Chain A
Amino acid sequence: MKIIVLNGNPDNKNIKFDNYLTELANDLQKKNHGTKIFTLRDMNINHCVGCFGCWVKTPGECVFKDDSAEICRSVVNADFVFFSSPIMMGFTSALLKKANEKLLPIFHPYFEFINAETRHIKRYKKYPPIGLLLENNERTDKEDIFIISEIYRREAMNFKSSFSFTRFTSDPITELAHEISRI
């Protein structure tokens, strides 16, 4: 299994979060799952400017060259993508959202109507299931978790795959690694 982790922790002083991901990746490697962590804050990723160039000028590729191309390539060829972020003001980080928006090239502009909703059609045959890893804080409640999870459930609908779960950095690493390997 090829696993991609998008590390949306914007704060290099939050070592605990990064360590959790590193240990999780080590555990997954031991189970023979190739795991790659993209530490987004260290990458050169521009904001999506909504130009639609990746749909109507250079279909499938962003017209602005940056490190997001590498993420796009990894995501379309992965078996599982783990979106991870500390919760900040009740949502995942702006950093994770920025990287998320730069996935636009892997989708197609044309529309389809599924589950009574307009959505964009696939560009690739298959997209991986996704999961969400959050770091809680004392200002977060159940309602916040529900809202974030529902929005990422919609992200899985963009992927036309499935939403596996929302997990927390307070969960035991071995259990989580086990869960991921069963996807």
Chain B
Amino acid sequence: MKLAVFNGSPREKTSNTTVLLDNFLNGYMTNDGNSYELGYLANEKEADKNIELFKEADRVLIAFPLYFDSMPANVKTFIESLEPLCLRSGNPGIGFIIQSGFPESDHSMYVESYLEKLAKRLGCKYSGTVIRGAFETIRVPFMIDNIFHKIFIAGGKITNMGRVGHFFNTEKLYKKIYRLGMTFGKTGEFDKKIVQQLAKPEKLSRFGSCLFRFVGKHLYWNILLKRNNAYDKRFDTPYADQ
């Protein structure tokens, strides 16, 4: 299978989407005869190349982070550039991966409808949309490790607690995405069961919400704010006229 993979993250190579795709593609490549080409949609210089990649592929995969309830602007620019290819015979099959910072996959419900309709509009066989929430939290273990490192190692005590953050089990998530890539590499389809697992929770429980809000505030935003000496300014309202 010849796959064209489009990374739609504005953060490009240093994005969470890249981490997700790396795991997916490692799984995908375990099948003999598979190949892929990667295009970055935030790179405007590659716009023409990306259209060519789309045209020449057997299948297309577009992965992006959820920005304001839909695809980032650069992904939409790419979609607009595909307009001349609508209903062209020989268009590739198409699938999508959305990862979002919010923990519930329901945030992506309507953009998923949009993507399904887009496949129809292009005349591409639709392989489905994988949705994974809370993906920014893959950055949390490193932040916690940093804190422990500072307290225990930089403080003079040698401990092995430098990897305490990895109690957040991202490896399990990555393995799931790897297996998703593996089955996709064999069948050209997403494994429905894994897709369902990844999309959980569609809605968050009250307890889940408390946990997410705590981790988000104290183990992510506040650490970054303090690191940048911006903590005291966190509620600033520079554009208020009154």
B70 in the interface (beta carbon within 8 A): yes
From A139, which residue of chain B is reached at the shortest CB distance?
Answer: B121
Contacts A58-B230, A76-B239, A113-B213; A94 near B76 (Cβ below 8 A): yes
B114 A59 Cβ-Cβ under 8 A: no
B239 A106 Cβ-Cβ under 8 A: yes
A76 B240 Cβ-Cβ under 8 A: yes
Contacts A47-B10, A58-B230, A73-B239; A91 near B114 (Cβ below 8 A): yes
Query: Would you call the interface of chain A mostly helix, strand, loop, or mixed?
Result: mixed
B121 CB, nearest partner CB in chain A, Å? 6
Among B65, B225, B227, B238, contact of A50 (Cβ-Cβ < 8 Å):
B65
Among A61, A94, A110, A147, contact of B77 (Cβ-Cβ < 8 Å):
A94
B110 A147 Cβ-Cβ under 8 A: yes
Residues of B within 8 A of A111 (CB): 212-213, 216-217
B contacts with A, residue count (CB < 8 A): 56
A90 in the interface (beta carbon within 8 A): yes
Q: Give A residues with C-beta under 8 Å from B.
A: 47-52, 55-61, 69, 72-73, 76-77, 88-91, 93-95, 97-98, 100-101, 103, 106, 108-113, 116-119, 123-124, 139, 143-144, 147, 150-151, 154-155, 158
Q: Give B residues with C-beta under 8 Å from A.
A: 9-11, 15, 42, 65, 67-74, 76-77, 79-80, 82-83, 86, 102-104, 106-107, 110-111, 113-114, 117-118, 121, 203-204, 206, 209, 212-213, 216-217, 221, 224-225, 227-228, 230, 233-241
